[in-house]
Chains A and B, each alone.
Chain A
């Protein structure tokens, strides 16, 4: 695993595997998730560090996407899905009765596996969130939000002359960055990314990974990925899931160089999964 490029500054951060960081923004405690009768996640405990990139890895069906969708309560959309346990965002229980799922999702944005821009103009794609949340009072202010979001997503120079063209007419990589810009536009604290590069070619993937690295300064990013190289490249912390259990969680460098659990070892060396 030495060939994998590692971030330099993280080796010293955390030494133990029962990883319980102080500066956590999202905290899952004893979370169980069921799809109908079938349990998808078992007694999950996970603290996500603020302003960092956390990767969730593991074989298909291990529950990593399910956990991701718990954080912005996207599982509410699935009628048979049922979540138990507590998940807090900045100390507040996101399942509490006084929590508005609309404001929760404004604070916890999401980028999906397949780029899904609305069949609207590039401008309207970005302006969609700020408009429904009434975040801007004038056209000039909205223009500014659109420009800033596209700049942060590294897409501005490519699309500034055709903001009125359809977002669906962009290339796959551009579409995904458009979706990231759309998520940024509502000023979230956390951005959830569900395999954001799995539908992209290597060059577009590299662009999106660079973008994730830049976004880390302002946002907390949780990324589900099937690519262990990607997890190693972009994340500070990595959680390995297997069959609905969190097997190991810690600094990315530790997970990839000195995994404590045999299952993690087998997965990252390609023996299972």
Chain B
């Protein structure tokens, strides 16, 4: 009886100490996660605030639907010939053109390699190929950038000359191709996981009905994995739209409104970089337009990420 009493008291004391520690740890964890949340809120707020200042000088309609981008406003009042036009359409089409080329490369390459890895590859082949593919994801984008500018672009221009095509040395094609290779591991790795998550029992059912492996993959595995694959493609596309280094180095600065992949185009990200690098004053429409572009980009990729996560989540259920 005596013993049990003293034990009870000890337990209570320990529990109090425990409680304090737990509260401290909890507070630490909360603060850490708050840092990330507050930073996000801060970034969004500054984007929104500066973009609002921009839209006091340039109308939202002109920004979203204007066909010409030439952000050369006067730095001094006596400077000439720089009225500036802030139509984002050429930037958006350039971004979409390069992203579309990238997705056209990454979707088949990534998906087919995922199918190979998940369904056909032996354990040996898989243990070599999968890390190599993921190594592709570890290459810094600036390396991809000068690879695109110094290897891919001249190669395209020369081979274009040989068949009588005019491909500019900074082309949407060079940037898109390189970006496509860059996001292959993103597509293949996520799709591989999704395909592996298709229950073996479904494959067994299909085999037991006398399907071949190809029929099973085409008619059972892929249909079951489609939502997850769509999610992985959306994530890859949103990565392509937000990608900067490759396009800065390979795509050019000319805001051409074109769908021709052989011409130079520019993207939202490239323009933000050029608007804000160097000495700038943050009171002109020119510099402020970067924030409007940033906000636009943020909204686009946010929507795509949310859609992708929604699709992937629904698939998991």
A interface residues (Cβ-Cβ under 8 A, vs B): 72, 74, 77, 101-106, 109-110, 112, 114, 116-120, 128-129, 132-133, 179, 182-183, 186
Contact = CB atoms under 8 A, between A and B. Distances in A.
13 contacts: A72-B208, A77-B203, A105-B210, A106-B210, A112-B205, A116-B201, A116-B202, A118-B202, A118-B205, A128-B219, A129-B210, A132-B215, A186-B210
Nearest to A101: B210
Contacts of A105: 207-210
A232 B267 CA distance: 74
Interface in B201-233: 201-212, 215, 219-220, 223-224
Nearest to B205: A116
B50 to A, nearest CB: 48
Interface of B: 199, 201-212, 215, 219-220, 223-224
Contacts, number: 61
With most chain A CB atoms within 10 A of its CB, the pick from B203, B204, B209, B223 is: B209
Contact of A133 (B202, B207, B210): B210
Contact of A112 (B204, B211, B219): B204
Contacts of A118: 202, 205-206, 220, 224
B209 A129 contact: yes
A128 B208 contact: no
Contacts of B224: 118-119
A183 B201 contact: no
A102 B211 contact: yes
Kindly list the 8 A-B residue pairs having the minimum CB-CB distance in the complex, ordered from nearest: A110-B208, A105-B210, A116-B201, A106-B210, A129-B209, A116-B205, A102-B210, A132-B211
Nearest to B212: A102
A190 to B, nearest CB: 12
Nearest to B218: A132
A114 B201 CA distance: 8
B205 A179 contact: yes
B210 A103 contact: yes
With most chain A CB atoms within 10 A of its CB, the pick from B203, B207, B224 is: B207
Contact of B199 (A74, A110, A116): A116
A133 B220 CA distance: 15
A182 B206 CA distance: 10
Contacts of B219: 128, 132
A142 B239 CA distance: 45
A77 B201 CA distance: 12
A110 B206 CA distance: 10
With most chain A CB atoms within 10 A of its CB, the pick from B201, B207, B210, B224 is: B210
A188 to B, nearest CB: 9
Given A116-B199, A118-B202, A128 B209 contact: yes
A118 B210 CA distance: 15
Contact of B204 (A74, A101, A102, A133): A74
With most chain B CB atoms within 10 A of its CB, the pick from A106, A109, A128 is: A128
Nearest to B204: A112
Contacts of A133: 210
Contacts of A119: 202, 223-224
A118 B219 CA distance: 10
Nearest to B213: A77
A103 B209 CA distance: 9
B204 A116 contact: yes
B272 to A, nearest CB: 43
